A and B are shown apart, each in its own frame.
Chain A
């Protein structure tokens, strides 16, 4: 370290900042190109308000699509919530999730973790960022529109009741890259942002989860390409 002169340090520093920026740019472009999706802001506008974007989960690409659909200034402060079992599995995935996506990595199975996943997410919100979550908890490979939702999103809302919860419905991504497949097919996808909701005072879990689910399905309906 002592022998490293100033110029070398400078370029290392530049690399450390620019490489994630470049990967992020490439990932955004690539996602938009492959999915052909244009974001439809139906129930709200892309404004810098602290939010939790919650989407339906069919594919790994969901993650990238929500992220790529946000305007750059929102993307910088929005952190995807990701499962540690998948994203910490290899050096490349770790680099992508931490350095490029600035993800919030949580342990999905409770036993592995000393801290509650919800606390990790709430901490990220209290630091001022926005989050991307998938309340189904895992990718939906069934014929159902949505799997039963996990209750974590309710406990998150309890800790941060001032935050807007924005439903995000994505169509066709499960067909673009189904679970277990490697090569994506370039089908056109759509992504729609619905009307935000907030936890009501003294609202119970079932009511809130019910509204979260209804909001997702309503966003799907309003995004239908009609006659």
Chain B
């Protein structure tokens, strides 16, 4: 195994080189292929590339600050995503107290629990306690109209944007024999394979996509894109196994599990988005929102966390 420092430099250098390459390629495509005109695929590639730069810089800065930096970064991601989710939620006046609790108590407390490494509590706090307690706050306002839909949406918003995302910084809590001080690469590995799966899915769908999987839910998701995206993520996972505690075969299996979960979990989130009548979660934020970018990582994070915790953690 490589030393910590070598791994860090290799990874940072590799990612920066890839980003520069992607930016140059994106600019070249825009100029030569699209002639500077609007072009749906090239423009969406360029939007993604810009998001990757932002993501890389944010994660890089957080890593420099250390564990607290990572916690604050993902708490901020959760906050922004929760805001986007609840913006299109069908809540009523009576839910105000529950919403205040969700933003200002549940979210910070979940990250506090992850911060103090209280696994037994951060695993159940939102699925059990927020789940049981928040509907009470709405019910005492004595307005039963669409109650199940309202409380269900608030719970889903918290599960996806707070509970799920908090499992990314929770990866730093795992104690993996022979992997001390390098847990942060577990996060980098996850983000890289998900992003690669996402981009290859997008490109393969665009050029080879014939069979839509659920056209009513997500017209962009095709069987061809699914195969391309999954294959690319598995290959990348194998190539990146040096930064993880996994062997090459294990890395392939973990990557496969993550992309499968990401693809179908993303489909479920798309259905919720459709139900709320919006094309993008960030529709109110003018352009691409946080949740549109992190949706796939959200649904994968707890599954990835539990795979690593169960098979690798001491």
- The answer to whether A178 and B284 have CB atoms under 8 Å apart is no
Of the candidates A172, A178, A186, A190, which one forms a contact with B103 in the assembled complex, judged by CB atoms under 8 Å apart? A186
- The answer to whether B87 and A172 have CB atoms under 8 Å apart is yes
B286 at the interface (CB under 8 A from A): yes
Per-residue CB contact flags for chain B residues 262-295 toward chain A (1 = under 8 Å, else 0) read 0000000000000001110001111000000000
- The answer to whether B83 and A187 have CB atoms under 8 Å apart is yes
Q: Report the separation of the CA atoms of residues A186 and B82 in the bound assembly, to the nearest whole angstrom.
A: 10
Provided the pairs A186-B103, A187-B86, A188-B83 are in contact, do residues A36 and B96 lie with their beta carbons within 8 angstroms?
no
Contact-size category for A: 10 to 19
Per-residue CB contact flags for chain B residues 85-128 toward chain A (1 = under 8 Å, else 0) read 01100010100100110011000000000000000000000000
Residues of A within 8 A of B99 (CB): 175, 185, 187
- The answer to whether B104 and A183 have CB atoms under 8 Å apart is yes
B84 at the interface (CB under 8 A from A): yes
Query: Could you say which of A36, A38, A181, A226 has the most chain B C-beta atoms within 10 Å of its C-beta?
Result: A36
Provided the pairs A186-B83, A188-B83, A188-B87 are in contact, do residues A178 and B279 lie with their beta carbons within 8 angstroms?
no
Of the candidates B103, B283, B284, B285, which one forms a contact with A185 in the assembled complex, judged by CB atoms under 8 Å apart? B103
Residues of A within 8 A of B91 (CB): 175
Question: Least Cβ distance of B34 to chain A in Å?
Answer: 24
Question: Least Cβ distance of A97 to chain B in Å?
Answer: 26
- The answer to whether B286 and A178 have CB atoms under 8 Å apart is no
Q: Report the separation of the CA atoms of residues A186 and B104 in the bound assembly, to the nearest whole angstrom.
A: 10
Q: How many A-B residue pairs have CB under 8 A?
A: 44
- The answer to whether B86 and A185 have CB atoms under 8 Å apart is yes
Residues of B within 8 A of A38 (CB): 286
Q: Report the separation of the CA atoms of residues A199 and B278 in the bound assembly, to the nearest whole angstrom.
A: 37
A206 at the interface (CB under 8 A from B): no
Question: Least Cβ distance of B272 to chain A in Å?
Answer: 15
Per-residue CB contact flags for chain A residues 188-204 toward chain B (1 = under 8 Å, else 0) read 11100000000000000
A111 at the interface (CB under 8 A from B): no
Question: Least Cβ distance of B217 to chain A in Å?
Answer: 13
Interface secondary structure of A, over-half rule: loop
Question: Least Cβ distance of A183 to chain B in Å?
Answer: 5
- The answer to whether A190 and B284 have CB atoms under 8 Å apart is yes
Q: Report the separation of the CA atoms of residues A99 and B229 in the bound assembly, to the nearest whole angstrom.
A: 60
Residues of A within 8 A of B283 (CB): 225
A73 at the interface (CB under 8 A from B): no
Provided the pairs A36-B83, A175-B91, A225-B278 are in contact, do residues A185 and B286 lie with their beta carbons within 8 angstroms?
no
Q: Report the separation of the CA atoms of residues A175 and B92 in the bound assembly, to the nearest whole angstrom.
A: 7
Provided the pairs A36-B83, A183-B104, A187-B87 are in contact, do residues A225 and B96 lie with their beta carbons within 8 angstroms?
no
- The answer to whether A188 and B84 have CB atoms under 8 Å apart is yes
Per-residue CB contact flags for chain A residues 202-226 toward chain B (1 = under 8 Å, else 0) read 0000000000000000000000011
Q: Which residue of B lies closest to A181 (CB)?
A: B96
Question: Least Cβ distance of A225 to chain B in Å?
Answer: 4
Q: Report the separation of the CA atoms of residues A70 and B83 in the bound assembly, to the nearest whole angstrom.
A: 24
Query: Could you say which of A187, A189, A190, A225 has the most chain B C-beta atoms within 10 Å of its C-beta?
Result: A187
- The answer to whether B83 and A178 have CB atoms under 8 Å apart is no
Provided the pairs A36-B285, A38-B286, A190-B284 are in contact, do residues A185 and B93 lie with their beta carbons within 8 angstroms?
no
Of the candidates B79, B93, B285, which one forms a contact with A188 in the assembled complex, judged by CB atoms under 8 Å apart? B285
Q: Report the separation of the CA atoms of residues A36 and B99 in the bound assembly, to the nearest whole angstrom.
A: 17
Provided the pairs A141-B93, A187-B83 are in contact, do residues A225 and B100 lie with their beta carbons within 8 angstroms?
no
Q: Which residue of A lies closest to B82 (CB)?
A: A186
Of the candidates A185, A189, A190, A226, which one forms a contact with B96 in the assembled complex, judged by CB atoms under 8 Å apart? A185
Residues of B within 8 A of A227 (CB): 277, 279
Q: Report the separation of the CA atoms of residues A189 and B84 in the bound assembly, to the nearest whole angstrom.
A: 10
Residues of B within 8 A of A37 (CB): 284
Question: Least Cβ distance of B167 to chain A in Å?
Answer: 23
Residues of B within 8 A of A226 (CB): 279
Question: Least Cβ distance of A220 to chain B in Å?
Answer: 14
Q: Report the separation of the CA atoms of residues A141 and B93 in the bound assembly, to the nearest whole angstrom.
A: 9
Provided the pairs A141-B93, A181-B96 are in contact, do residues A189 and B103 lie with their beta carbons within 8 angstroms?
no
**Apart from the given pairs A172-B87, A185-B86, 14 other A-B contacts in the complex at a CB distance below 8 Å:** A36-B285, A141-B93, A172-B284, A175-B91, A175-B99, A178-B96, A185-B96, A185-B103, A186-B79, A187-B86, A190-B284, A225-B283, A227-B277, A227-B279
B interface, CB within 8 angstroms of A:
79, 83-84, 86-87, 91, 93, 96, 99-100, 103-104, 277-279, 283-286
13 contacts between A and B (CB under 8 A): A36-B83, A36-B285, A141-B93, A172-B87, A178-B96, A183-B100, A183-B104, A186-B79, A186-B83, A187-B86, A188-B83, A188-B284, A225-B279
A interface, CB within 8 angstroms of B:
36-38, 141, 172, 174-175, 178, 181, 183, 185-190, 225-227
7 nearest CB pairs, A to B = A188-B284, A225-B283, A188-B87, A185-B99, A178-B93, A187-B87, A183-B100
